[in-house]
Amino acid sequence: MRFSFILPVKNGGGYIKECVASILAQTLQDFNLIILENCSTDGTAEWLQALNDERIVIIPADKPLSIEENWARILSVPKNEFMTMTGHDDVFDKNYLQVVNDLINQYPDASLYQTHFRFIDAKGNIIKRCRPMKEKQTATEFLSFFLQAGIDVNGTGFMLRSKDYYMLGGIPAYPNLLFADFELWINIVALSYLAVSSKECFSFRLHQSTTAISADIKMQAAFKQFMIFLQELKNTNTGYNFVITKYAIGFIQFWCKGLAHRLMRTPKEKRGNLSVAVFLDECKFYADILAPGNNYKPESNASVNLAKQIDRFAISRNLFLLFKKIYSKPILS
């Protein structure tokens, strides 16, 4: 067999049934499905065992694992020549594997492959299509698109060689795997280039994402780790240096606003020693490292500055949280 679908799962509910069915229905049957079952308690494990399909390899965990630990097992399991990873709530079109196989044959020297896709909601309704992607992308182009929010990147749909995954040490161990997929993809693309099919071949489900439900302490730690990665990447070559120097400020500005607002919505006892003011100082520090000589000031954004001022005092923080309970629509924007 040429391909391996890899599916880590814990408590897949009804979504995993749709995901597995979409994989098994591929028109090109040159694959196996490796499921890393993580001590599910909702009947997922029992349902998987009952499938009795020779294409399916189930590898149960001996004890409950974190999401980072379960995905880390991908590195050591036997895989076919090419591999793709997926979340248990995403869905493949039946021609996905055939399109990717054709793409590999067309661009045999590429190191990463992807197709266009659509975003769906919890009920499977289409929310939007992904942004159009350039057919061939170098690592610097891929990084440039990502930092400018000009490309939709997630953990599903990418196909790569198993030997490359092993060589790079697998998916990086970010908290809750936030930003981990992009670091992996940029490192894979750097081996050669990314080849993309314009055909829309899978659905990525948007609902209660890891980003939305991750604790603030993990979000902050993951963001810091990604900033360190960009700093290391910047020192790799002049292409990365140019792209990061040019576009890092906009990327930091976007995440600074979002994470500052998350802190505002989180009671202080649930975010350790984090405060909005401290985080804004960190964002300025990252900006100065990645783009020296910039004039970026986090507080220049009115809603970010308002978040900082409200967060300074316990009474204003508590009044804000009380107001949020009563008025659910966004306050800071």
Which residues, in sequence order, are bridge partners of residue 34? 6, 57
Q: What is the pLDDT of residue 212?
A: 45
Low-confidence ranges of the chain (pLDDT < 50): 209-214, 331
CB burial of 262-280 (b: ≥16 within 10 Å; e: otherwise) equals: bbbebeeeebeebbbbebb
Query: CB of 266 within 8 A of CB of 322?
Result: no
Cα–Cα distance for residue pair 317/16, rounded to 1 Å: 40
Q: What is the pLDDT of residue 209?
A: 44
Listing DSSP states for 94-151 in one string gives TTHHHHHHHHHHH-TT-SEEEEEEEEE-TTS-EEEEPPP--SEE-HHHHHHHHHTT-S
Q: What is the pLDDT of residue 261?
A: 87
Q: What is the pLDDT of residue 64?
A: 97
